[in-house]
Chains A and B, each alone.
Chain A
Amino acid sequence: MSMLETYFAQLEEGLKKKLERKTTARRKFIYEISRIGGKMFDDNLSSAWTTVFVPFEILNAMGVAGNFIEFVGAMMAGAGIGRQYLEKAEAAGYSTDSCAYHRTIVGAALEGIMPEPDLLIGASCPCDGGIKVLKRIGEIYKKDVFVINTPYEYTPESLDYLVNQFKAMIDFIKERTGRDIDFDLLRQSIRNNNKAREYLVEALELCKNVPSPASSNDWKNFIMFVLLAGSEPAIEVARIYRDEFKEKVGKGLAGLADEKYRLLWIQNRIQFKNNLINILESKFGANVVIDELNYIYWEPMDEEGDPLRALAIRQITHPIIGNIDRRLDVLAMLGREYKCHGAINPAHWGCRQSGGARYMFKEALREVDVPVIHLDVDCVDERNFSEGQIITRLEAFMEML
């Protein structure tokens, strides 16, 4: 059994035992995600490495276990094993100015610890780096990469264009794995998405309460939920989040005892172990009540029409795609509706799509009286992380609030 397979198996086993003792939303979520990780090694399924915004529902409906590469990069950083793969990638010529999520995964692929994927499927958004590194991984395994060009804006023509690309993607998968798509399963996944959405919208709405029923880490890295999209476990995870927070709000229980400050987190969390959240919570009573990437931006999906079209609409309307305006609107709305006192933007070193917008983030949130602190960090590469300096800056920010 490979190191990675062992890791997911142990994670799944450990969480299963914990869930038997007590079910919490967070445990259930991580448990299901660890099972997804384990599916990479399931011989009954084909496997795909992907970027983050691809329609996982289509992969599931074709018997393909998909995993987005940043998920593995984050997981390795969290487990404290990313450094050697970063160094491997750098030795192979990958610049330290590139995204460390991507460097970790390419280093791991070069090191041979990744299971060889049957397929590689990536989208042009949210960033250039994701699709580029998928191409490099494809070269390591001598496999073609299917590229989805996510259109810049939502128009009837661009929607058709994306739907046609999904059809071509289905052909690509069929050709390489011999697996056909089960459209009934795909339609079921659309219905499942809507059900899970209902619960998630409600659960997130409950977090607008003061104090929030969630603590800073309850929703950490919830973007990984995309890996469950359209599945029964997704509904279950979402329902448990809703139930847990509903119960807490009903009983007047807070996620963070003595919540004094409410914070908005922009883009990704810092993945390796660090004390920032602990210090924010314990020293300042500051609670991250909403993460930008957890916002459910998509409307209920059309259950009667073409499922590919429904998936394309969800993909093309993501606020991170296209111009910055919708993303700024979302940030301002979250800051206002979640009654945030401040926002934290960990300006991930290798991220251009966010780095180029940092002033715009500040400006948009200033309009709703939410000050922003930019932390110059690398969310995955801990080698240059100066925790003391970052904490000093955070402390100054909290005192200002």
Chain B
Amino acid sequence: MVSKKNPAEPKEKTLTGMSRMGWFCSYTPLEIIHAALLFPVRITGHSDPIIKADSFMHPNMCQYVRSCLDTALAGGYDHLEGAVFVNSCDAMRRLHDAWRKYISPGFTFIMDLPKGRSDADYGYFRNELLKLKNALEKHFSIEITEGAIKQAINVMGESRSLYHKLSDLQKENPPLITGKELMQLASLYFTVGPYTWNKTAEALFKQKNDAKPTAVNRPRILLSGSPIHNPDIIGFIEECGMDVVYEDMCTGSRFFDMIVENTADTLLDLSRAYLDKSPCSRMLMIKERTKNIVDLANEFGAHGIIHHSLKFCDTYLYDVPQLKRHLTESGLKVLLVEGDCTLGSFGQLKTRIEAFAEVLND
């Protein structure tokens, strides 16, 4: 998460004069926002104590939602033209309500998100995409063309391919790119345009692919669970003596883990792509989620899993007992941690993380 003093300000602009549109959840169809010639900026909240938001929400709401509201109440997102929400969880629904009521109006939209993959689900979500497109067109008096959406799909498709090329470098032993570096790159995507990012990613790939690091046998872990916005947290885990060779989070790989088909019905293509992508906990597909984690751990040579649950996040917390059982049954060593997605909360877990590294070393 960014510091509250420096809210999600894009580090560079790719196109001058573009309006910025905030978004939260990785199921937000950025292709449509790009096609509207808006600059999507991920809203990440902050890592500091909550100042204002606790007057508006019960402290048993997650740090992410409260800190997003806290930053917004302090004017940290005043530079945005609006925000696109997804009905991803109870807390996000309430954040959307609070945003409409207490943050400067602008454009506010919430999309529903089904927990399923039937034809009816694809059709329903397609209609949600259409509603977003129509709402953007009406609010900004623009037309979002089919061609513009396809163009956005293409450039984002390139980004996704590049991310996976870089991620594959982590399969090497030692990994050719650290988990922190990859997370820094992923985070960059949420603050710069895809064209700029693609160039950066391409350059980084060339640099890392040519690297010849000295082999050091460190435990390799896969990090899964609630979103972590701060790459320093990955760095912290790596400083505890492990290599984070894959992260299964919506702030990293799960954002990029998507393939959009190219048929005559572009919105349906997008609908299918978003609903078919590697599911997060709220999608209720724990078997698939577990299988993905195990398969990825094997593919990337991970010796263990650290699963992080955001405190007060029901979608992840209710999965923990079953997930642990499934992962342990697969023969992987598992460390379950709970925190508020801040570096401070991970700092408190240092002893446990170091102990886990020792277990993996044995």
Interface residues in chain A, defined as those with a beta carbon under 8 Å from any beta carbon in chain B: 92-95, 97-99, 102, 124, 127-129, 131-133, 135-136, 139, 145, 147, 149, 151-153, 157-158, 161, 164-165, 168, 323-325, 347, 349-350, 352-353, 355-360
Establish whether residues B94 and A92, one from each chain, have CB atoms under 8 Å apart when the complex forms: no
User: Which listed residue (B91, B127, B286, B319) contacts A352, Cβ 8 A?
Assistant: B91
Alpha-carbon distance A355/B127, docked complex (angstroms): 30
For A327, the closest partner residue in chain B by CB is B97
CB distance from A189 to the nearest CB of B (A): 25
B196 adjacent to chain A (CB < 8 Å): no
Alpha-carbon distance A323/B99, docked complex (angstroms): 12
A and B contact pairs by CB, cutoff 8 A, 30 listed: A92-B321, A93-B321, A93-B324, A94-B321, A95-B309, A98-B314, A127-B314, A128-B90, A128-B315, A128-B318, A129-B314, A135-B284, A147-B284, A149-B121, A149-B124, A168-B118, A323-B93, A324-B97, A350-B60, A352-B89, A355-B57, A355-B94, A356-B61, A356-B65, A356-B90, A356-B98, A358-B57, A358-B58, A359-B55, A360-B101
For A161, the closest partner residue in chain B by CB is B124
For B124, the closest partner residue in chain A by CB is A161
Establish whether residues B312 and A97, one from each chain, have CB atoms under 8 Å apart when the complex forms: yes
Establish whether residues A95 and B94, one from each chain, have CB atoms under 8 Å apart when the complex forms: no
Alpha-carbon distance A355/B87, docked complex (angstroms): 16
User: Which listed residue (B97, B100, B286) contacts A135, Cβ 8 A?
Assistant: B286
Establish whether residues B60 and A158, one from each chain, have CB atoms under 8 Å apart when the complex forms: no
B110 adjacent to chain A (CB < 8 Å): yes
Query: If A124-B115, A147-B116, A323-B93 touch, does A356 touch B57 (CB 8 Å cutoff)?
Result: yes
B120 adjacent to chain A (CB < 8 Å): yes
Establish whether residues B90 and A353, one from each chain, have CB atoms under 8 Å apart when the complex forms: yes
> 1/0 per residue B91-110: CB within 8 Å of A?
10111111011000000001
Establish whether residues B87 and A97, one from each chain, have CB atoms under 8 Å apart when the complex forms: no
Beyond contacts A132-B319, A165-B120, A360-B101: 15 other A-B pairs, Cβ-Cβ < 8 A, are A93-B321, A95-B309, A127-B90, A136-B321, A147-B284, A151-B112, A151-B124, A158-B112, A161-B120, A352-B60, A352-B90, A352-B91, A353-B93, A353-B94, A355-B60
For B281, the closest partner residue in chain A by CB is A132
Alpha-carbon distance A149/B127, docked complex (angstroms): 15
B241 adjacent to chain A (CB < 8 Å): no
Alpha-carbon distance A92/B336, docked complex (angstroms): 13
B317 adjacent to chain A (CB < 8 Å): yes
Query: If A324-B94, A356-B58 touch, does A128 touch B321 (CB 8 Å cutoff)?
Result: no
Establish whether residues A356 and B324, one from each chain, have CB atoms under 8 Å apart when the complex forms: no
Alpha-carbon distance A271/B311, docked complex (angstroms): 25
B168 adjacent to chain A (CB < 8 Å): no
Residues of B within 8 A of A323 (CB): 93, 96-97, 100, 110
CB distance from A29 to the nearest CB of B (A): 29
Establish whether residues A152 and B110, one from each chain, have CB atoms under 8 Å apart when the complex forms: yes
- Central interface residue in A165, A352, A355, A357, by most chain B CB within 10 Å: A352
Establish whether residues B97 and A357, one from each chain, have CB atoms under 8 Å apart when the complex forms: yes
Establish whether residues B58 and A347, one from each chain, have CB atoms under 8 Å apart when the complex forms: yes
Residues of A within 8 A of B110 (CB): 152, 323
Residues of B within 8 A of A149 (CB): 114-116, 121, 124
User: Which listed residue (B87, B284, B312, B317) contacts A152, Cβ 8 A?
Assistant: B87
CB distance from A374 to the nearest CB of B (A): 8
Residues of B within 8 A of A132 (CB): 284, 314-315, 318-319
Chain B contacts with A in 105-139, Cβ cutoff 8 A: 110, 112, 114-116, 118, 120-121, 123-124, 127
Chain B interfacial residues counted at CB < 8 A: 47
Residues of B within 8 A of A95 (CB): 309, 317, 320, 338
B195 adjacent to chain A (CB < 8 Å): no
> 1/0 per residue B218-261: CB within 8 Å of A?
00000000000000000000000000000000000000000000
B277 adjacent to chain A (CB < 8 Å): no
B140 adjacent to chain A (CB < 8 Å): no
For B59, the closest partner residue in chain A by CB is A355
Chain B contacts with A in 306-344, Cβ cutoff 8 A: 309, 311-312, 314-315, 317-322, 324, 336, 338
Residues of B within 8 A of A359 (CB): 55-57, 98
Residues of A within 8 A of B309 (CB): 95
CB distance from B94 to the nearest CB of A (A): 3
Residues of B within 8 A of A353 (CB): 90, 93-94
Establish whether residues A128 and B282, one from each chain, have CB atoms under 8 Å apart when the complex forms: yes
For A150, the closest partner residue in chain B by CB is B112
Residues of B within 8 A of A324 (CB): 93-94, 97
Alpha-carbon distance A97/B55, docked complex (angstroms): 20
Query: If A97-B312, A353-B90 touch, does A136 touch B318 (CB 8 Å cutoff)?
Result: yes
- Central interface residue in B112, B118, B121, B127, by most chain A CB within 10 Å: B112
Alpha-carbon distance A239/B168, docked complex (angstroms): 68
Alpha-carbon distance A45/B292, docked complex (angstroms): 39
For A99, the closest partner residue in chain B by CB is B314
Alpha-carbon distance A133/B120, docked complex (angstroms): 24
Establish whether residues B112 and A152, one from each chain, have CB atoms under 8 Å apart when the complex forms: yes
Alpha-carbon distance A359/B123, docked complex (angstroms): 36
Query: If A97-B60, A98-B314, A128-B89 touch, does A360 touch B97 (CB 8 Å cutoff)?
Result: yes
Alpha-carbon distance A102/B318, docked complex (angstroms): 10
Residues of A within 8 A of B101 (CB): 360
Residues of A within 8 A of B319 (CB): 132
Alpha-carbon distance A151/B124, docked complex (angstroms): 9
For B91, the closest partner residue in chain A by CB is A352
For A376, the closest partner residue in chain B by CB is B58
Query: If A128-B282, A149-B116, A151-B112 touch, does A357 touch B318 (CB 8 Å cutoff)?
Result: no
Residues of B within 8 A of A164 (CB): 120
Residues of B within 8 A of A165 (CB): 120
Residues of B within 8 A of A139 (CB): 286, 322
Residues of A within 8 A of B96 (CB): 323
CB distance from B16 to the nearest CB of A (A): 35
Establish whether residues B314 and A128, one from each chain, have CB atoms under 8 Å apart when the complex forms: yes
CB distance from B130 to the nearest CB of A (A): 9
Establish whether residues A355 and B286, one from each chain, have CB atoms under 8 Å apart when the complex forms: no
Residues of A within 8 A of B114 (CB): 149
Alpha-carbon distance A135/B58, docked complex (angstroms): 27
Residues of B within 8 A of A98 (CB): 314, 317-318
